[in-house]
Structure 1
Amino acid sequence: MSSPCDPRHAPVGDVGAALMMIDSQLKKIRGGTTALDPAQQALIDQFAASLSPEGVDDVLDGVCTLIYVFMKWLRAAYEAHDKDVIEHVVPHLVATLRKMPKSVRPETVPTMAGLVVAAGLGLSPSLWRRSYGPWTPHEMNSLEATAVLIAEHIDSLTDDPDFATRLITDALSKADEG
């Protein structure tokens, strides 16, 4: 029996825009700053202002797609070492999100953990979240932080600061070719 959260039924969303947001946050973290290059920030602000409500939904779905792909890669990497991805990713994610009370409201942490668990089990995080109602404004920073933390986890595991971003850009390139 197929799950209502089967990724085959999930919208992919705007993965390119989602990746741009996540990659810019990763660059800020690695640069040891909280500010982006002014030109890059202006571009992101202009893009965000141009989004329609449907465009916002597409970016949200894109971020969920990133989380799904990242967790799929992590699941394979951990299973190759006879380890459980949920056991190794979720506790670190929750602990880190809890240390970010200015950006991540405490009540959103269980939802973000649920998204990651859903993805770790091979379910669509986007469809899983929709089963509990619409996104709330408080979840936006938490969702972005979750995707950034998972990407940073991948980059740390591979000892390559661009691995997670390249994982997605390579997949997008292959999709364009196919």
Structure 2
Amino acid sequence: MPSPCDPQYAPVGDVGVALMMIDSRLKGIHDGRTETDAEHEELVRQFTRSLGPDGAHDVLDGACTLIFMYMTWLRNVHEQHEKDVIEYVVPNLVASMRMMPKSCPSEVIPTMAGLVTAAGLGLSPNLWRAQYGDWTDEEMNPLEATAFLLAEHINRIADDPDFATRMITEALSDADED
């Protein structure tokens, strides 16, 4: 019997916009911008407001889809080396988030760890989270940070600063062709 958190039941959301936001963050870090650019932040806020509630929810679902896809890739890589993805990825993610107290308040880190664990087990992160009620405003930055940290982790494993973005872009292209 399939789980109610099975990815086949999950909305994909707007993966393209979610990927654009994560890629923008990755490029900003690699360009040496460690502080968030106020102008960039305002543009993101304006863009998000322009999407309206449904569009913003689609981007949220898209971010969860990214997390699922990243964890699926990481799980496959870890299994090739007979390693447990949860054992190797979740503690590092939590440690990184703990070093980001402004973006990731400590009270939401367990939710993000659970979200990544669910994805690592092959469950839909957004359906897993939905079991516990609606998303909170306090979870939005940590959700983005989670997707960012997973993408950066993948890029380091692949030794390619654009690998995670390219992987998703290629998957989206392949899906469009089908």
| Range class of TM-score, shorter chain | over 0.9
- Partner of 1:51, secondary structure, is helix
C-alpha separation in 2, matches of 1:167 and 1:92: 22
Q: Which runs of 5+ in 2 are unaligned?
A: none
TM-score of the pair, normalised by structure 2: 0.95
Q: Is the 8 A contact 1:24 1:36 kept in 2?
A: no
C-alpha separation in 2, matches of 1:176 and 1:141: 29
Aligned counterpart, 2:74: 74
The residue correspondences of 1:2-151 to structure 2 (distance < 5 A) are 2-33=2-33, 34-35=35-36, 44-151=44-151
Change in 2 beyond 3 A, CA 1:45/1:135: closer
Q: CA RMSD in A?
A: 1.5
State how many pairs are aligned. Answer: 177
Q: Percent identity?
A: 64
State the shift of 1:35 in Å. Answer: 4.3
Residues 1:174 and 2:169 are matched in the alignment: no
Change in 2 beyond 3 A, CA 1:138/1:41: closer
State the shift of 1:173 in Å. Answer: 0.5
TM-score of the pair, normalised by structure 1: 0.95
C-alpha separation in 1, matches of 2:137 and 2:110: 15
C-alpha separation in 1, matches of 2:133 and 2:158: 36
Deviations 1:111-156 (A, max 9, x none): 0000000000000000000000000000000000000000000000
Instruction: Read off the aligned partner of 2:149 and give its amino acid letter.
Output: L
